[in-house]
Amino acid sequence: MNYENIYIEEENNIATITINRPKKLNSLNKRTIEELQDAFKELDEDNGIKVIVVTGSGEKAFVAGADISEFADFSVQQAKRLAAEGQEKLFDFVENLSTPVIAAVNGFALGGGLELAMSCHFRIASETAKMGLPEVSLGVIPGYGGTQRLPQLVGKGRALELIMTAGMIDAQKALDFGLVNYMVSQEELLPLCLKIASRISNNSSVAIKHAIKAVNAGYSYDVDGYAVEIDAFGTCFGTDDFKEGTTAFLEKRKADFPGS
């Protein structure tokens, strides 16, 4: 598939999606959101891809926000549809993807950019990264899941402070808050992401898919996460990956997971 605003590189069962709108600081417009959804869907359906890394082109920005020029004159109903469709097409879609997604936050991650990073399964930041949800300075609130995922990651008080002040935090504070897992130099960012992705890719993709589902269930108000875990645990016992993993353990060798 030909993409205008992103490009994909694949190596050793790992795909890297790079958002490539450097003149717009990689901001998310409608086309980019659609291209990202298509790319994530395509890679998730590819059994040869075990992990996805998403980052921004250049060193200034991961994603500096949504493209405000596209929706500045929207009506109330158009705005509600924008948020609903965006959440369904990209942000919720990524969060619930069965393939692990790592955000390599290489610069500004603001507004929709931070919301995209938070929808990934975890985040690694460069020392130069800056993160925030500045929407209230524009007279609006985060609409792509920011009011929900930020409190889950950093706690209600810190999330409300960040949202209400429209301020930015640096990578060190993001690390202290638990918003990112690691902070490294710009040069070390992608190598570390790929190193962790490689470790993930050695494990059972089938089991990882169930783990993602079970963990996410714990953050759903209308789902019993423990029940989902029990069901997923049992389901794993009927898979080829479980047979291979346990057999390899008993035979004292490295597992070669068939996956599915």
Residue 101 CA to chain centroid, in angstroms? 5
Integer Cα distance of 104 and 126 in angstroms: 8
Angle at 257 (CA atoms; ends 252, 260), nearest 5 degrees: 160
Beta bridge partners of 204: none
Q: Where are the alpha helices (DSSP H) in 52-111?
A: 76-86, 92-95
Contact call for residues 169 and 58 (beta carbons, < 8 A): no
Contact call for residues 36 and 75 (beta carbons, < 8 A): no
| Collapsed DSSP state (helix, strand, coil) of residue 255 | coil
Active site residue 135: yes
Integer Cα distance of 146 and 156 in angstroms: 12
Single out the catalytic residue among 42, 45, 95, 115: 115
- State residue 187 phi and psi, 5-degree precision: -65, -30
Residue (of 153, 144, 83, 155) closest to 111 by Cα position: 144
Single out the catalytic residue among 45, 59, 135, 251: 135
Q: What's 34's DSSP letter?
A: H
Per-position b or e across 161-188, b if 16+ CB within 10 A of its CB = ebbeeeebbebebbbebebbebbbeeee
**Token pair of 125, please?**
């930041």
Q: Which residues are annotated as catalytic?
A: 115, 135
